[in-house]
Amino acid sequence: MTQNPSTRSDVQGDPPLAPRALLRWDVVSRLLRDLKPRTVLEIGCGLGAFGARIAPLTTYVAVEPDATSYASANGVISPRGGTVINGTDQSAPAGQTYDLVCAFEVLEHIEEDEAALRTWVEHVKPGGRIMLSVPAFQDRFGPMDTMSGHFRRYSPEEMSTLLTKVGMVRPQVTVYAWPLGYALEAVRNRMDSKKLAGDYKDASVEDLTAASGRTNQPRKRLIGLGIQTATAPFRWLQRLRPTSGTGLVVVAERPA
């Protein structure tokens, strides 16, 4: 990696991010700066907002199973030098391992999370890392989670234990989105409880998962710039409380 990812912004042409995603990117970008991976595989890249930021900095491959999200991701990642594949992690280039395998807001959508994680780890180069982001703390599970197609949320201890079970070592967890995340979730829970009682009453987990990947990102750059400006102080504030918040990012190492 030759650039500092934390300096990249929507002003430079990156796809806009929602408030919680901006808080997450603040954590992820600093970790990327420290890790400096030369090769990256992203599992479930969604619309490609993070991938568009990572692809210019490294050799980047992403997989995305949803056809609509794949088309969007390919449109923003390919021009930046990355590769996007319409499929699951099993569609990634055979025999290839990576310095970093990442999955942002993906694992909570998978019922058999341990089994999925075991297959993801196979793509990590010995001595390489896996980076995951997931919603934090099961006692916060609410309508927002149901509407997003989540099966669960994770505590730092649960996430560390799960990674250890699949053979990873030295998990390091950062909790983020304090304090803004609490307000964001309160609003989303209220809105999504109404949706679940109405048009989405009979929606399947699969449909809710696919929809969440397509709709939770602002499309207009001007809106994205406004969100970026409004959340700037909170991106600094959350660094004061890295054990409090509504989401977590974890990095763990595959033994060499």
Q: How far apart are CA 180 and CA 232, in angstroms?
A: 11
* Triad 63, 67, 68: Cα angle to 5°: 115
Q: Do residues 48 and 61 lie in contact, with contact meaning Cβ atoms separated by under 8 Å? A: no
CB distance 134 to 105 below 8 Å = yes
- At residue 6, does pLDDT exceed 50? no
* Preceding peptide of 179 cis, ω within 30°: yes
CB 79 within 8 A of CB 52: no
Q: Which pLDDT does position 11 carry in this prediction?
A: 34
Which region, left, alpha or beta, applies to residue 180 given φ > 0 means left and ψ of -120 to 50 means alpha?
alpha
- pLDDT confidence of residue 214: 67
Q: What is the pLDDT of residue 108?
A: 98
Token match 């799960």: residue? Answer: 162
* 3-state SS assignment for residue 136: strand
Give the 3-state secondary structure of residue 244. Answer: coil
Tell me: the pLDDT tens digits for 29-56?
Answer: 999 999 999 999 999 999 999 999 999 9
Q: Going by C-beta distance under 8 Å and a sequence separation of 6 or more, which residues neighbour residue 169?
A: 252, 253, 254, 255
Give residue 222's pLDDT.
Answer: 78
Per-chain mean pLDDT for the chain:
93
H/E stretch holding 186: helix 180-197
Joined tokens for residue 182: 């609490």
Q: State the pLDDT at residue 215.
A: 65
Domain boundaries, the chain: 5-253
Dihedral sign computed on CA atoms, order 133, 138, 139, 142: positive
CATH 3.40.50.150 fits 5-253, yes or no: yes
Please report where in the chains the tokens 């999370």 appear, as a residue: 113
Q: Which CA distances in Å does 175 have to 24, 240, 241? A: 9, 11, 8
The beta-strand segments (E) located in the chain are 39-43, 59-63, 83-85, 98-104, 124-135, 169-177, 245-253
